[in-house]
């Protein structure tokens, strides 16, 4: 067992609390809170409610795991599915730059649902989530840029991340964990095609990555076998779903490089590809005290991935789709100097923001594209109506590891997300925050809402 898939499986199966540095554990708590609050913020959305209704039709009406959308209990599978659908809904959950992968939505929901079902401790849950991040992010890096052009990495790599997190809680041995990777990888799916239609698939991708990964892990626990080389094999994920898959990425400094620490918080409530330009434009607007009407045009100098994902979105017809419109995001920054959930809700039908979209363009920038995805540089060129040309540059968008959020900022973001549209009360939100901060001391994870 020395090939990359096996090394990953062994790492995941053997990771223990004591091997994980303290800052990694604390950052995992930060990311979990960010995810739970995102789940609440997304819980009332139509696409999420439809998945919750499906879970009610097909799943059991009681069980050991907490469905944070319906506030009822069910089996781990449906708790994971529904909560994962909600976690990614408002585009406020985390992102890992190098893999262009949103780990939180596909790691925490299945891990928490399993921990609740099995009566695991807070420390066991944290270990499982770290394992899910470390494997999922490396799988995303392995699949590479060609994969991301067509596939939603959070859906594909996400199934393996979920399998590992659940598998660790099931105490899979290294061979079982390898089977779980095999069964997860052969279920991995998620295509970007939905984006140009503003369709609901993104929620289905996270829901199914979480559920499919959990399926793989539970099956492996009970003796079901999977491919031994699902990632690097000649008929595996790399062969079928990438043109630049690099197996060396799978095992890059396992146990010494902690990708949890490389994971970014999202400050703006939009697709991460808009954030570098949004931060750069915010700098221009604030430094020159511009209003939206002062701006004649904005050129966002971007990487190819931004053009691939955002390019098809020219005339957003839903709040969710507007988060994938560079023009809409920069319009909110120009108008409100903020692109949070309330700004997106108000901005969809705002004529000034709609008019601003046609004044925004994206241009491929060699420097930005070369640095990506290791570094997400933001560069904008602004023409003002009074004839000035203004530029700004941001090397690390707000929320990146070098420009991260403090625990106070994380709490503030979580509180605003959890109480968005009254998903949770102020008291519940405060209790949720405190529960996550004390997670490592809990003998049983238990429920996160009252």
Using rule CB under 8 A, residue 314 touches a copy of itself: no
Return the number of the residue (302 or 309) whose C-beta is nearest a copy of itself. Answer: 309
Map the footprint of a copy of itself across residues 64-83, applying CB under 8 A. 75-78
Cα 99 to chain center, whole Å? 11
Return the number of the residue (229 or 357) whose C-beta is nearest a copy of itself. Answer: 229
**Least CB distance from residue 86 to a copy of itself, whole Å?**
14
CB-CB contact of 122 with 442 (8 Å): yes
Using rule CB under 8 A, residue 187 touches a copy of itself: yes
Using rule CB under 8 A, residue 6 touches a copy of itself: no
Return the number of the residue (122 or 238) whose C-beta is nearest a copy of itself. Answer: 238
**Interatomic CA distance for residues 263 and 247, integer angstroms:** 21
**Interatomic CA distance for residues 79 and 114, integer angstroms:** 9
Using rule CB under 8 A, residue 54 touches a copy of itself: yes
Region binding a copy of itself by CB under 8 A among candidate stretches 205-213, 280-288, 298-306, 392-400: 205-213
Site string for a copy of itself, 146-165 (x = CB under 8 A): ---xxx---x----------
CB-CB contact of 112 with 87 (8 Å): no
Contacts (Cβ under 8 Å, ≥6 apart) of 247: 4, 142, 231, 232, 238
Q: What string of DSSP letters covers 265-333? A: PPSSSS-GGGHHHHHHHHHHHHHHT--GGGEEEEEEEE-HHHHHHHTT-SS--SHHHHTT-HHHHHHHH
Using rule CB under 8 A, residue 324 touches a copy of itself: no
Q: What string of DSSP letters covers 23-89? A: HHHHHHHHHHHHHHHHHHHHTTSHHHHHHHHHHHHHS-S--SEE-TTTS-EE-HHHHHHHHHHHHTT
**Least CB distance from residue 150 to a copy of itself, whole Å?**
4
Q: Is the peptide bond before 373 cis (omega within 30 degrees of 0)?
A: yes
Return the number of the residue (50 or 288) whose C-beta is nearest a copy of itself. Answer: 50
Return the number of the residue (59 or 399) whose C-beta is nearest a copy of itself. Answer: 59
**Least CB distance from residue 159 to a copy of itself, whole Å?**
8
Give me the residue label for tokens 């690099």.
246
**Least CB distance from residue 396 to a copy of itself, whole Å?**
29
**Least CB distance from residue 242 to a copy of itself, whole Å?**
10
Map the footprint of a copy of itself across residues 82-101, applying CB under 8 A. none
Using rule CB under 8 A, residue 225 touches a copy of itself: yes
**Interatomic CA distance for residues 338 and 4, integer angstroms:** 43
Return the number of the residue (5 or 404) whose C-beta is nearest a copy of itself. Answer: 5
Structure tokens at 175: 């061979």
Residues within the interface to a copy of itself (CB under 8 A): 46-47, 50-51, 53-54, 57-61, 75-78, 149-151, 155, 179, 182-183, 185-201, 204-205, 208, 212, 215, 218-219, 222-230, 233-237, 239-241
């Amino acid at each position: 067992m020395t090939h990359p898939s096996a090394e990953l499986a062994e790492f995941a199966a053997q990771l223990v609390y004591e091997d994980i540095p303290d800052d990694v554990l604390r950052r995992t708590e930060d990311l979990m809170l960010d995810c739970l609050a995102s789940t609440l913020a997304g819980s009332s959305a139509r696409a999420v409610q439809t998945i919750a209704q499906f879970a009610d039709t097909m799943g059991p009406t009681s069980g050991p795991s907490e469905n944070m959308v319906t506030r009822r209990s069910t089996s781990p599978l449906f708790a994971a599915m529904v909560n994962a659908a909600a976690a990614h809904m408002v585009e406020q959950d985390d992102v890992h730059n190098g893999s262009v992968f949103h780990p939180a939505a596909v790691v925490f929901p299945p891990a928490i649902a399993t921990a609740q079902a099995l009566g695991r401790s807070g420390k066991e849950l944290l270990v499982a989530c770290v394992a899910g991040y470390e494997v999922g992010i490396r799988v995303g890096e392995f699949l590479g840029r060609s994969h991301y052009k067509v596939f939603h990495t959070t859906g594909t790599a996400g199934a393996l991340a979920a399998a590992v997190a659940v598998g660790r809680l099931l105490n899979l041995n290294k061979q079982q964990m390898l089977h779980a990777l095999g069964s997860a990888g052969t279920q991995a799916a998620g295509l970007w095609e939905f984006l140009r239609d503003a369709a609901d698939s993104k929620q289905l991708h996270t829901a199914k990555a979480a559920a499919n990964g959990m399926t793989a892990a539970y099956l492996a626990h009970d003796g079901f076998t999977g491919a031994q080389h699902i990632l690097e094999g000649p008929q595996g994920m790399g062969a079928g779903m990438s043109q630049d898959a690099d197996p060396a990425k799978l095992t890059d400094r396992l146990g010494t490089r902690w990708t949890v620490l490389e994971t970014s918080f999202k400050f703006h409530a939009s697709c991460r590809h808009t954030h570098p330009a949004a931060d750069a434009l915010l700098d221009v607007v604030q430094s020159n005290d511009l209003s939206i009407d002062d701006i004649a045009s904005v050129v966002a100098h971007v990487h190819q991935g931004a053009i691939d994902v955002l390019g098809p979105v020219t005339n957003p017809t839903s709040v969710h789709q507007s988060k994938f419109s560079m023009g809409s995001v920069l319009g909110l920054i120009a108008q409100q100097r903020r692109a949070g959930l309330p700004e997106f809700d108000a901005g969809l039908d705002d004529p000034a923001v709609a008019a601003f979209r046609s004044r925004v363009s994206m241009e491929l920038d060699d420097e930005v594209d070369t640095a990506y995805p290791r570094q997400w540089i933001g560069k904008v060129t602004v023409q003002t109506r009074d004839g000035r040309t203004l530029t700004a540059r941001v090397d690390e968008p707000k929320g990146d590891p070098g420009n991260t959020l403090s625990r106070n900022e994380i709490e503030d973001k979580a509180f605003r997300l959890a109480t968005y549209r009254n998903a949770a009360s102020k008291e519940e939100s405060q209790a949720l925050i405190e529960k996550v901060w004390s997670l490592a001391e809990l003998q049983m994870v238990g429920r996160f809402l009252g």
